[in-house]
Amino acid sequence: MQPVSDRVIDSLRSALGPRGVLTARDDVAPYLVDWRGAHRGDARAILRPAGTEEVSTVVRLCHDAGVALVPQGGNTGLCGGAVPDSSGEQLVLSLGRMRRIRRCDPNDDSITVEAGVVLRDVQQAAADTGRLFPLSLGSEGSCTIGGVLATNAGGTGVLRYGMMRDLTLGLEVVLPDGRVWDGLRTLRKDNTGYDLKHLFIGAEGTLGIITAAALKLFPATPRRVTAWVAMPDVASAVAMLALLREHAGDHVSAWELMSRQALDLVLAHAAGTQEPFRREHAWYGLLELSAPRATADLDATLETALGHAFERGLVTDAVVAGSPAQRKSLWALREGISEAQNPEGPSLKHDVSLPIGDLPAFVERAGRVLEGVLPGVRRVTYGHVGDGNLHYNLSKPVGATDADFVARAGELSGAIYDAVSLMSGSISAEHGIGTAKREAARTYKDPVELDLMRAVKRALDPDDLMNPGKVLPPA
Ligand code: FAD
Ligand code: 2HG
Ligand code: ZN
């Protein structure tokens, strides 16, 4: 990696024009810190190409000058992947001007979009043609298609539709030397060798810049029933998934879990939210069944399933949304959790996954161990229980200082990751590694897997100019 010379900045400016290169400190500043304010870096300039050709030119110029690039979309990532390091010698490449929907074809059930298109705009374009693009995240109003691909994002629809990897048909990528790989096919079947798109999905920008993607569409599901339920324990949430599937099969499109402590934060910090029941419960679930217009009586299915759940003691209270507004307010209780943690001071995030049946034992074990490490530490447990994915986040004990809490971060996270590892889980279910979990990856990922990942990185980016320092712990 070389320092960025004035000559390089001048050539980038002549390639991109004045709107394409930001260097004034006030213009650059918002790109140097992540959404939470948890990761900060420095950069001399922000590059804002307006199309694939411009991305290719920028990458080639930087490659020839030995300058490293950090791709950035909506900057909503949760592990520092989109933020440059503190050297000031990396440049941020923002895809924010590449917002074109190139094609939306309901007959082919596909949509082809540029990397800077915001997720909500893709959902809307699909809806405008009577289709569904099912990826759904709390950050969908800001995160971009490039970002959700580079992190292989998940969210609340994974149970039925899969993660971003499962929703992708083809990619267009600018490689680290500036060449463009046009893999933008919409084919459902193509067995002509290695499926290269999967290298770039989830690579967090370390192998190339995604400039466009062809994505799958699904039938719209205007029929939806939504319920908020109370449960005595995590084991009930696991049993509920099986029960819901027995009754509703593939109509089950969301099954989310929240602890009382997570709900408390939303009620305290998210304007307009309300206590869902008269009394407090230990655990809550948000479930949704959905279907195209003509099929299935979802109300009756839900009623029968909930009846069985009450009989078996899995559910102790329930409210079914009676209107779109009520549905929205139930979802606000779930989607507000991530943001509601911020006013409580630093939050230690652990985005873990486990075999679904082991979730109750994990919650019991991790809770016991953490109480030994830091008595009173607040466990903000919630997540996509149907995918075995918990956001097992920690906030400081009431009355503790931020500094005292952060000083224990290594020990606390280590205790959680040890429990995850003992139970054959993963230390990142959906947010990725970035810089935040890079050292944990060294400890908890198989060394053979890390060697293979380094070999892929060397093959595609031998000069280490694509988002250096992210994902891979130094050998
Ligand atoms: P950025 O944050 O800008 O970048 C993320 C990573 O992708 C970085 O490593 C960056 O270098 C790389 N990158 C970005 N664009 C490109 C590109 N074009 N080519 C190559 N690399 C690129 N995540 C989930 O999985 N599930 C959730 O439910 C979820 N909910 C969230 C809720 C909230 C309130 C917030 C703030 C975040 C949530 N996230 C969730 C995390 C986040 O939104 C996702 O990680 C999202 O995928 C990031 O998209 P972005 O455009 O903001 O990417
Ligand atoms: C969610 O499911 C997101 O709400 C964010 O993945 C989780 O902020 C978090 O830890
Ligand atoms: Zn999540």
Mean local confidence (pLDDT), 68-83: 98
Residues 386-402: tens digit of each pLDDT? 999 999 999 999 999 99
pLDDT at 475: 84
> Does the pLDDT of residue 10 top 80, yes or no?
yes
pLDDT tens digit sequence for 164-198? 999 999 999 999 999 999 999 999 999 999 999 99
**251 falls in which pLDDT band (50, 70, 90)?**
very high
Is it the case that residue 293 has pLDDT exceeding 80? no
Query: What does the DSSP assignment read for 406-462?
Result: HHTHHHHHHHHHHHHHHTT-BS-SSS--TTTTHHHHHHHS-HHHHHHHHHHHHHH-T
Which stretch of DSSP H or E encloses residue 299?
helix 298-311
How close is the Cα of 253 to the center of ligand 3, in Å? 15
Q: What is the pLDDT of residues 48-66, one digit of tens each?
A: 999 999 999 999 999 999 9
Q: Give the burial string for 280-314 (b: 16+ CB within 10 Å, else e).
A: ebebbbbbbbbbeeeeeebeebbeebbeebeeeeb
In the reported structure, the alpha carbon of residue 232 is separated from the centroid of ligand 3 by a whole-number distance in angstroms of: 22
Q: Which ligand has the nearest atom to the CA of 97?
A: 1
Which atom of ligand 2 is nearest the CA belonging to 341? 8
pLDDT band for 16, please (50, 70, 90 cuts): very high
Supply the mean pLDDT for the chain. 97
Instruction: Give yes or no for residue 393 CB within 6 A of ligand 2.
Output: yes
Q: Which atom of ligand 2 is nearest to the CA of 391?
A: 10
Q: What are phi and psi of 320, to 5 degrees?
A: -105, 130
The whole-model pTM stands at: 0.97
pLDDT of 296 over the 70 cut: no
Distance 349 CA to ligand 3 centre (A): 11
Ligand 2 pocket member 338 (CB < 6 A): yes
- The residue with tokens 């944990």 is 440
Task: Answer yes or no: is pLDDT of 295 > 90.
Answer: no
| pLDDT band, very low/low/confident/very high, at 277 (cuts 50, 70, 90) | very high
Residue 4: band (very low, low, confident or very high) from pLDDT cuts 50, 70, 90: confident
Residues enclosing ligand 1, CB less than 6 A? 35, 70-78, 81-82, 95, 115, 137-139, 143-144, 146-148, 150-151, 153-155, 204-205, 209-210, 338-339, 430-431, 434, 467, 470
- Could you report the per-residue pLDDT of 299-311, keeping only the tens digit for each? 999 999 999 999 9
Per-residue tokens: 300? 């009756």
Q: What pLDDT band is residue 443 in, cutting at 50, 70 and 90?
A: very high
- The percent of residues above 90 in pLDDT, for the chain, comes to 97
| pLDDT reading at 313 higher than 80 | yes
Is the CB of residue 315 less than 8 Å from the CB of residue 240?
A: yes
Q: What is the pLDDT of residue 3?
A: 76
Task: Say yes or no to pLDDT of 2 above 80.
Answer: no
Tell the residue nearest (CA) to atom 41 of ligand 1: 77
